Chains A and B, each alone.
Chain A
C-alpha cells in the first residue's frame, strides 16, 4: 500500500541552524501538508501546498519557515534559523485529488526535531 515517507526520523540541531525536513508524498497525490506536534500538545497545522504554491498557512508558519517541491517526488520544510521552541514532531501529509478522496489526508511517520 502506498505511504508517505519522511526523512530523517530524528534530527538534532543547534539553535540558529537551518534544517530541512524531507517528505515523499504518495505518488498520485497533489495536495501536501505539514503539521507539527510539540511534546504533550495537539497536532497543529502549519501549511498546505498545491500547484507549487502555498494554499493556506497558520500563524505558526512565519518567515522562518518555507516549503518547496524541488522535484516530482519530494516535498520539503525548511526552518531557516531554528529556535528551542521549534523542537517537535513534524508530520507530512498528502491527499488525492480524485473526487471523493480529496478530503482524506494521509500522514507520514514524522520527523522528530530536537533543537539544543
Chain B
C-alpha cells in the first residue's frame, strides 16, 4: 500500500531564510509525487510534480523538490521564504493516472518577519 510521511507537523522560519520540508513515501513501483499548498480558506493548489526524468523539479512560487529514490524522499525546498508562503503544505503520492492520491498529514509553515 502506498503511504506518505511528513515528519514535521509545524515549521517556523524567518522571512528570507531557506526552507526544506521533508516528505518520505512508500510505494512499490515508480511513484508519481506531488506537493500541494493550502492557504486558509483555500483549496489545495498544486505546487509541483514528479513523474520521471530529471530528479530536481521546479514548481510555482519559486519552489523546487528533489526526488531521491534511494531515500524514498521528495523534499520541498525554497531558497528564500516570503511571508506569503505561510500555509500548510501537503506531499502526495499516486501510482496511476486517474488514480487516487495518498497524502501526508501536512506541514504547517509559519513565517516570522
Contacts and interface: CB of A to CB of B under 8 A. Distances in A.
Contacts, number: 57
Contact of B97 (A4, A41, A42, A103): A103
Interface in B34-59: 34, 36, 41-46, 49, 51
A44 B94 CA distance: 13
Nearest to A5: B43
Interface of B: 32, 34, 36, 41-46, 49, 51, 90, 92, 94, 97-106
Instruction: Classify the interface of chain A: helix, strand, loop or mixed.
Output: strand
A109 B90 contact: no
Given A109-B41, A109-B43, A42 B104 contact: yes
B43 A91 contact: yes
Interface of A: 4, 6, 31, 33, 35, 41-45, 48, 50, 55-56, 58, 91, 93, 95, 102-110
A109 B98 contact: no
Contacts of A104: 34, 46, 49
